[in-house]
Structure 1
Amino acid sequence: MAYRFTLPLAGVLAIALATTAVAGSDVPDNLLSAVANPARPEAQRARDAARHPAEILAFAGVKTGDKVGDFLMGGGYFTRILSGAVGPTGKVYAFQADEFISFMADYGKWQDETAKFAPNIVPVRSSIGVFATPEPVDLIFTAQNYHDLHLGRATPEQIAAINKRLYAALKPGGVLLVIDHYAADGSGDRDSSKLHRIDIAMVKAELEAAGFKLEGQSDLLRNPADPRTASVFDPAIQGKTDQFVLKFRKPK
């Protein structure tokens, strides 16, 4: 992705981490029905077996009535499911960055189409550097996007400022759920631009520096057969990459 960021520069206790794979029987009905909704696009529903959306949202703790920010919503796969999961008393603020839309107009089209799916989906657009939600939210969700902050268009200071904005958008006690593609251990963001992967240790360190507390890590999307050396768009591995799921919390 070759877009340019336009970003402002402004901007210990050990914890036991839960490494969790949520069993299907433990998934609340609101999440199961949101995934089963036949109004979802068929192409997106076909990806459910690989993406485990109900279990992922159960791990995040999504509840009816929650306010959610879908940060860098992409094609709206999780936006639509979140909409059903939070129900009519909840809200999903579907954020698409101006930089992404400038790079590829489809990002804007996908946001517009997704917003028509349900009245509780509210589209939000701005430069990524001034991200904000219209009200404090219970959850910020971002899937396969954190590495995009590390494509070489943003400085470490700018990335830190974005992470502070994620923190500020959450209610005290709110959750940040991050899914992304594993890079080689110890590689930092070396492979973010070429392979669209990022080192899990770098994600943890940056978000903890913003004030988040790492609460849990799920193995739902692990694939040890992925050598982490190919682009996530390589047909041999696309849709089957080794992915991490990290659950952070903003302290109360």
Structure 2
Amino acid sequence: MNVIKKIFSASILSSALILTGCMSEGESSALENAINSDHRSVENKARDQYRHPKETLEFFGFMPEMTVVEITPGGGWYTKILAPALKGKGKLYGAHYPDTGEDNYYSNSRKKLVEMLASDPIYSEVVLTDFVPKKTSTLAPAGSADLVLTFRNLHNWGEEGMQQVFKDAYTALKKGGVLGVVEHRMPTSQNWKENMKSGYVPEALVIDFAKAAGFSLAASSEVNANPKDTADHPRGVWTLPPSLALKDQDKEKYLAIGESDRMTLKFVK
């Protein structure tokens, strides 16, 4: 009877750790080692001050044994952290635009990602799946994922695309699994319909769409907040670094602001 109680207690403790995002020393080291590894460029590491990868992933409850989905990895900024942190213990799916053979942004982005993954054995266990905005996509086998992540992508997909992505994430996740969202945050003083092309998205809209897909909002964090960002710039969010769309015009001003103000939301299935 005592043995059964101990097993039950251990199970409850394990579940609690996943929900709260607590990590053991070894698990934390795996993440820190990936973040500090030499395979990450100096340029990528310089952005840690704005993207806070360790704090963000820990907030979402990341653990090296998890099955994780990263939606549209793009240039692989987060993939370069997730892949080595998960290798040998967990699993990483990169749900990215398919290569249709055409010379367009989507196909070219997929080709570049494939080339990056082939460039280093550290990415050898990453599995790519096809993601198509506004269409039902199998991000990972249904009910297999512990964590689905999207970083600064929602503004690319529009309302219909956001709603579909949340449905796809819900399908991919296990019960109790987490959807982690980081996105450029539009101030409540701005009108969404008038500023949709700015790259910023209202936090309340994201929460409503996620809830409509079946998720519960478990927590929000200000780890990626930037009070210096007014979200009112000539070229939208791309005015700020790293894009600096105005190039040298007012460059010092925008460098002083830094990267965008971002919502960081944790949803649970």
Cα pair distance change 1:64/1:159, threshold 3 Å: closer
Deviation, 1:140, is 0.5
- State the 1:247 CA deviation: 0.5
Aligned to 1:81: 81
For 2:77 and 2:93, the matched residues in 1 are separated by 14
Task: Give how far 1:32 is off.
Answer: 0.8
Partner of 2:38: 38
* Partner residue, 2:48: 48
Contact 2:99 2:111 in 1 (8 A): no
Q: Do the aligned partners of 1:189 and 1:199 also contact (CA within 8 Å) in 2? A: no
Normalised to the residue count of structure 1, the TM-score between the two structures is 0.79
Alignment of 1:1-252 (within 5 A): 28-98=28-98, 102-103=104-105, 105-116=107-118, 117=120, 118-128=123-133, 129-135=135-141, 136-150=144-158, 156=160, 159-185=162-188, 187-188=191-192, 190-193=194-197, 195-230=198-233, 231-234=236-239, 235=244, 236=254, 239-250=258-269
Displacement of 1:124 in angstroms is: 1.8
Using the TM superposition, give the Cα deviation of residue 106 of structure 1 relative to its aligned residue in structure 2, in angstroms. 4.0
Contact 2:99 2:107 survives alignment (8 Å): no
Between the two proteins, the alignment pairs up a number of residues equal to: 221
Once the two structures are TM-superposed, the CA of residue 217 in structure 1 deviates from its matched residue by 0.8
SS of 1:221's equivalent in the other structure is coil
Cα 1:211/1:190, change in 2 over 3 Å? farther
The CA distance in 2 between the partners of 1:243 and 1:89, in whole Å, is 30
The structure with the larger Rg is: 2
Distance 1:96 1:239 in 2: 28
> Are the counterparts in 2 of residues 72 and 95 from structure 1 also a CA contact under 8 Å?
yes
| Comparing 79-88 and 207-216, the one that deviates more | 79-88
Report the residue type matching 2:51 in the other structure: R
How far apart, CA to CA, are the structure 2 residues paired with 1:222 and 1:249? 22
Please report how far the alpha carbon of residue 50 of structure 1 lies from its aligned counterpart in structure 2 after TM superposition. 1.8
**How far apart are residue 44 of structure 1 and its match?**
1.7
Shift of 1:200: 0.5
5+ residue gaps, structure 1, are 1-19
What's the C-alpha RMSD, in Å, of the aligned pairs?
2.6
Q: Which moved more, 1:68-77 or 1:238-247?
A: 238-247
Instruction: Extract unaligned runs of 5+ from structure 2.
Output: 1-19, 245-253
Shift of 1:93: 0.7
- Which segment drifts farther, 195-204 or 237-246? 237-246
Seq. identity, %: 28
